[in-house]
Structure 1
Amino acid sequence: MTFALNVTLDGCYDHREGIADDELHDYFTQLMDAVGAMLWGRTTYEMMESYWPAVARDEKALRAMREWAQKLDAKPKYVVSASRHDFPWNNTFRIAGDLHEAVTQLKEKTPRGVLVGSPMLAAELERLGLIDEYRFVVHPVLAGHGPTLFQGLEHSRRLKLLSTKRLASGAMALHHRRVDAK
C-alpha cells in the first residue's frame, strides 16, 4: 500500500497550493497505472468525484488532466465511509467495518497494490501499520497554513529513501519505504 500526495515545503497538503502542471499529472497517472486500485476517505472521494468525471468527458481539457481523469474513471476506487452508502462514480466501492481488517483484505486481493490519496485516512492507516511506501511530491511553496500531514502521530517512523525525481517546476518527487515494511 502506497500513500501518495502533494505537499508544500512546510507540510501543507491543501491541493490548491501545489504546482499542477502536465508533468505533475503525468507523474501521478504513472503511479496510478502501476497499482490495482485507489483508496480514499469520504471527504477526498467527494472532492475527486465533484471534479474528475467531468474532466474525463471534456474533449477540451488539457491532455495530461484528461488522461489522468479517464484512467481514474476506469480504476477501481474504494472509499472508507461510515456515513455514505451510495457511490455513483464508475467502479467505486465502499469499505466498511473494521478498518484494519477491511484494508488488509483489500491489499490481499489487489496484488498490484493500492494507492491511498487521503491524508486523514493515511494517518489512521499509518497508525495501524498498513502503509508500506510513501510517494510525496514536495512543491517549492511555503503555504503558511495547514492542514499538515500526520498530525498527532504517536511516535516517529523511520523511512528509507528509494528514489527522487526533480520536476521542471522545481517540485521533488520522493519515494520512501517504511524501514519495517516488507
Structure 2
Amino acid sequence: MGLLTFSINLTLDGCVDHQEGIADDETHAFFTRLMDEAGAMLWGRVTYEMMESYWPVVARGDTQAPPALREWATKLQAKPKYVVSSTRRDFPWTGSHHIAGDLRTGVQQLKEATPAGVLLGSGKLAAELDRLDLIDEYKLLVHPRIAGHGPTLYESGLRSTRRLALIAAEPLRNGAVAMHYRRAVA
C-alpha cells in the first residue's frame, strides 16, 4: 500500500493562496520531484478545476512557458489524477478519475492500488482526510512571506492536535524551506 502525502505551498502565517508563494524554477523543480515520486495525484474539485484551466494548455504548447513549467505540465498530463467531488461527475482532463461515494473507502482503496503513493495537493481536502486519519506524510514548502490573509492551512480545524516527526528540512536558495514530516507514532 502506498502512502498518502500531503504537499502544499504555504506562507509563514499558514496562507495557502497559490498566488502567495514564490513561483520560480526551484519551486517547480521541488514539486516536479514530488510528482515524479508519486504514483497518482489527489485533489478536491476546486483545485482540480484550477489546475485543469491552465496546465493542459501548457502541456500542449498552446501558451508560452519556461522550461520548468513545461516539464511540470507534461509530467502532470501523463500522471493519474483523482478528484473528490460531490458536485461534479465529468472530468475530461487526460488521466482524470472521480472518487465517489464514501471518502474514507475511496481514498483507502486508492492508497492500496497505488504502491508508489498518492500526492495530495488540496488544503480543504487535506483537512477532511486528516480528520479521517488517512494522511501519512506532509511535505510542505514554507515560503518566507507573511500574507496576512487566508485561506489558511486547516482553517476548518481538526478534532485534536496532529503530532508529527520531522524527517527532513531543506532550505532552498529562494528562501523557502522544504519540510518533510511523518505522522508520529503515539
Amino acid at match of 2:22: I
Output one character per residue of 1:69-97: Cα deviation in whole Å (capped at 9) or x when no partner. Answer: 11001000000011111111000000000
Structure 1 position 155 matched with structure 2 position 168: no
Structure 1 position 143 matched with structure 2 position 144: no
- In the aligned structure 1, how far is the partner of 2:185 from the partner of 2:49? 33
Q: Which residue of 2 aligns with 1:174?
A: 179
Amino acid at match of 1:12: C
Displacement of 1:60 after TM fit? 3.5
Q: Which residue of 1 aligns with 2:54?
A: 51
- In the aligned structure 2, how far is the partner of 1:180 from the partner of 1:90? 38
Output one character per residue of 1:117-167: Cα deviation in whole Å (capped at 9) or x when no partner. Answer: 000000000000000000100000000001111121111111001011111
1:71-86, aligned counterparts within 5 Å?
71-86=75-90
Amino acid at match of 2:130: E
Displacement of 1:61 after TM fit? 1.3
- In the aligned structure 2, how far is the partner of 1:11 from the partner of 1:110? 30
Q: Which residue of 2 aligns with 1:88?
A: 92
Give the count of matched residue pairs. 181
Structure 1 position 67 matched with structure 2 position 66: no
Per the normalisation by structure 1, the TM-score is 0.97
Which segments of 5 or more consecutive residues in structure 2 lack a partner in the other structure?
none
Partner residue of 2:11 out of 8, 13, 37: 8
- In the aligned structure 1, how far is the partner of 2:185 from the partner of 2:127? 17
- In the aligned structure 2, how far is the partner of 1:16 from the partner of 1:150? 18
Moved more, 147-156 or 20-29: 147-156
- In the aligned structure 2, how far is the partner of 1:55 from the partner of 1:139? 25
RMSD: 1.1
- In the aligned structure 2, how far is the partner of 1:120 from the partner of 1:174? 20
Q: Which residue of 2 aligns with 1:25?
A: 28
Any idea what SS the aligned residue of 2:68 has? Answer: helix
Per the normalisation by structure 2, the TM-score is 0.95
Which of structure 1's runs of 4+ aligned residues deviate more than 6 A? none
- In the aligned structure 2, how far is the partner of 1:60 from the partner of 1:103? 35
Any idea what SS the aligned residue of 1:17 has? Answer: coil
Displacement of 1:180 after TM fit? 3.0
Q: Which residue of 1 aligns with 2:124?
A: 120
Partner residue of 1:42 out of 36, 45, 55: 45
